[in-house]
Every structure is written in C-alpha cells, then in structure tokens.
Amino acid sequence: MKLLLKIWRQKDAKSPGKMVEYPIDGVEGDMSFLEMLDVLNMQLVEKGEDPVVFDHDCREGICGSCSLMINGEPHGPDRLITTCQLHMRKFSDGDTIVIEPFRATAFPVIKDLMVDRSSFDRIQQAGGYISVNTSGNTVDANAIPIEKEAADDAFNAAACIGCGACVAACKNASAMLFTSAKVSQFALLPQGRVEATERVLNMVRQMDLEGFGNCTNTGACEIECPKGISLENIARMNREYLMAATKG
C-alpha cells in the first residue's frame, strides 16, 4: 500500500508547528497504525532526518498514551479502539492521511504528535481516590454488598484509560467525560460516598483551572471514546456537583 502522510511537526512547545508531507510505500494491511509510523521513522532515521515523535506504550489499548488525531478524528475512523489498535487495512492504496496531535490548550504539544496530558493527572490528584488506611487491617472491599447495577456502572466508568480522546474530539475541548468517569467510579460505590462532596467540587475546580472548555452536550466524546464511557456519567457528575454545591 502506498500512502501520503501529512504529519504535524513541531520542534517544541514554544515553536510554531506545520504540516509536513511524507510519502510512504510498502505499508501492509496487517500493520497497526503505530507500526506504520515505526516504518516511517526507520526511513527517516536512515535518511538522517529527525523521526516523528509520538506517544505510545502498551500498544494493546490499555495505557491510553497513543494520542493521535487521524483524518480529523481521535484514534482514527474506527469506534471503540485506540490508535495502537487501528489497523492499516482500514485505509486504501493511494490514501492521504492527516495526522495531528490531540489539540487543547490544556494539552500543550511537547514535540510533534506528543502532548502533555498531566492536566488529567492533576484532576485525578484533586479527588480521584478514596482515603483508606492500608496498615494491614483494611476491610475487604467485598465485605460491603453492592447492587449489581451500581457495580457494573462503576466498573464501566473505571474503564476510562485517560487517553484524552474525549477532549480531542470535543469542539469545546471539554474534559467533562474524563472527569465524570473518574467521579462516577467512586460516586456509585459506598466506599466512594464518604468523600463524594469534596471530590466532585475539587475535581471540577481543577478541571476548570486547567483551561478545558465548557461542555455543550454535543456527545462527540461518547462516540470517540475508545472505552465506551457514556454521557450518563456527565449527567451524574452534574447532579453530584449541584448536590455538593447546595450542601455548601
């Protein structure tokens, strides 16, 4: 397969970037998108050029680091997968593929396609945990019976891998889906209720401080999320937040 790649190249956070064209040949349908980029990088290195920097780690859809905007969609045209799970058979010979970093003011570009998503870490640190004594006499989590539906919903929310596709897809660069998944996974369980009020207030405050946009319910995040995190989580967070705010 012969392709024309148009890739965003940017030296560092301060420099302006631009699209650069790279023709590539010999791409196999069985290659993952990242393997295709590996091939390109090998060719660039051989030519003595700077390889394209992109984030990746697990390459099996778990870590959430492979953040690429492919032809205008985060993680490419497929649903419920990450970029590392996208296969080149999705493209045809002669295609042009536009590859950009996830763009948001709160995700500054580090280099080329790699962005700094530590804003997500700071939201998580603001309340995405429960305080439990781990001195050895911790109560077994299973000692508290939990309704199946709540357990399932909490588990589904916990499936969020923090990839940032929701932010990348959103026309407002809003981080509501991510934050609401992190709020929900605790809000649904008795262990998480203890700190529920401060949690939602603090996490939303941090989310706003990081400069993410305001949610206008377009639903793009839900469609592009590789883990199928649902908009119900955002409604739950809005509810939690309103309840917490009226409590003072």
Show the CA angle centred on residue 84, arms to residues 117 and 154, nearest 5°: 65
| 169 touching another protein, by CB under 8 A | yes
| 120 touching another protein, by CB under 8 A | no
Among 23, 26, 29, 72, binds another protein (CB under 8 A): 72
Residue 165 or 187: which CB sits closer to ligand SF4?
165
User: Which of ligand FES, ligand SF4, another protein, none is residue 232 near (CB under 5 to 8 Å by kind)?
Assistant: another protein
Among 52, 126, 173, 196, binds another protein (CB under 8 A): 173
| 189 touching another protein, by CB under 8 A | no
SS3 state at 42: helix
Q: Which stretch binds another protein (CB under 8 A): 20-28, 55-63, 82-90, 169-177?
A: 169-177
User: Which of another protein, ligand SF4, ligand FES, none is residue 114 near (CB under 5 to 8 Å by kind)?
Assistant: none
Phi, psi at 185, each rounded to 5°:
-60, -25
| 159 touching ligand FES, by CB under 6 A | no
What are residue 109's DSSP bridge partners? 115
Footprint (CB under 6 A) of ligand FES, residues 71-110: 82-84
Among 40, 52, 56, 99, binds ligand FES (CB under 6 A): 56
Burial 110-134 (b: 16+ CB within 10 A, else e): bbbbbbebebbeebbebbbeeeeee
Among 98, 146, 158, 194, binds another protein (CB under 8 A): 98
| 66 touching ligand FES, by CB under 6 A | yes
Q: Measured between alpha carbons, how far apart are the two ends of the chain, in Å?
A: 60
DSSP string, 94-115: T-EEEEEE--BTTB-EEETTEE
Strands of the 68-70 sheet, one edge to the other: 18-24, 3-9, 96-101, 68-70, 73-74
User: Which of ligand FES, ligand SF4, another protein, none is residue 236 near (CB under 5 to 8 Å by kind)?
Assistant: another protein
